[in-house]
A = this chain, B = another copy of it.
Amino acid sequence: MAKRIGKRTIIFDNKPYIIGYGSVVGKKEFEGPLGHEFDAHDDDSRFGKDSYEKAESSLQKIALETAMRKANVNENDINMIFAGDLLNQCIGSYFGLREKGIPLIGLYGACSTMTLGLSLASIMIDSGAADTAAAITSSHFCSAERQYRFPLEYGAVRPQTAQWTVTGSGATILSHKECKGKPYINAVCFGEITDLGVIDANNMGAAMAPSAASTIKHFLKDTKTTLHDYDLIMTGDLGKVGSDLLYELLESEGIDIRCRHSDCGLIIFDREKQDVHSGGSGCGCSAAVLNSFVMHRFESGDFNNILFMSTGALMSPTSSMQGETIPGISHLVNIKI
């Protein structure tokens, strides 16, 4: 049985073990500091397809198949997939996974989707609803630019607070079987919507930071733990602007995470050389980093107990045109080995 502690945290009796993971990225991500960590990449980010949307679907397919291969499972073994992406109507996920013949749960959590899916998949495993479940998300720079901002051909100039949508996907496969020596999900904390009134769609980090701060605070309070209990607190894609804001917000509550914090959006690119301004973003960012760099650190013994959080900015071009603010939401998973 899952046990709810405090307001938002759920801790598991039957720990869901991570038995497989896969990551795939585009050219720019492969050329970044984590390039050697990813399972696959493509040199023109089209993955042999004639549209970027179809390329994004391919990303999901490749990530899932890589994770399945590592987990040594096939389509019949997986009871359900939790999937989502940034494209309207989540076509990246639905079209990428449609041939698998596996019950599919479509999610939309903006860039918070990887940990949203992992959290739900974990509860399914713990509850007995699934023996094996997968979580997967993706984003693609070119499909996101066209949908959210401008077609690439316009050559629009981006402000320094803007982030660069990661072309990438990551998939994680969880199992109910106890697998000694493999990492597992110990607890999860679901996000609430936090809205401090940010309206600048070119400053997603600022929109997401308050929700990340809220989720960290709630989780520590719910579990009666402190930062010192964890090797690292890793956020999804706050970038430089959002990470600095997160430090400020938590410091005002007496929590200093500077020495224990890392952000997927800050480590996936070299901000000096790769012209990505505030850092990487997109729900493929935390998905690709989790299912490569983070998992490798668990395997090497560098990580034993971390908090991993994907962070999402809730908006659409329509909501922004109608003058709405950009609320944020962040879901957290506590991964241990």
The chain A residues found within 8 Å of chain B, CB to CB, are 1-4, 7-8, 10, 51, 53-54, 79-80, 84, 86-91, 94-95, 97-98, 100-110, 116, 120, 123-124, 126-131, 147, 190-193, 195, 314-319, 322, 324, 327, 329
Pairwise interchain contact A98-B195, C-beta atoms closer than 8 A:
yes
**CB-based nearest B residue for A316:** B89
Residues of B within 8 A of A108 (CB): 84, 89-90, 106-108
Bound Cα distance A4, B84 (Å): 24
Taken together, the copies of this chain in the complex come to 2
A8 contacts across to B, CB distance below 8 A? 103
5 A-B contact pairs sorted by A residue (CB < 8 Å): A88-B316, A98-B193, A105-B107, A105-B120, A123-B129
Which one of B89, B103, B324 contacts A315 once the chains associate, using CB atoms below 8 Å? Answer: B89
| Least CB distance, A9 to chain B, in whole angstroms | 10
> Cβ of A106 and Cβ of B98 under 8 Å apart?
no
Residues of B within 8 A of A314 (CB): 89, 91, 94-95, 98
A94 CA to B194 CA, complexed, in Å: 11
- Residues on B with beta carbons closer than 8 Å to the beta carbon of A106: 107-110, 116, 329
- Nearest CB of chain B from residue A249's CB, rounded to whole Å: 17
Contacts A1-B128, A314-B89 hold; do A97 and B319 have CB atoms under 8 A apart?
no
Q: Given that A108-B106, A109-B106, A192-B102 are contacting pairs, would A4 and B131 also be in contact in the complex, using a CB cutoff of 8 Å? A: yes
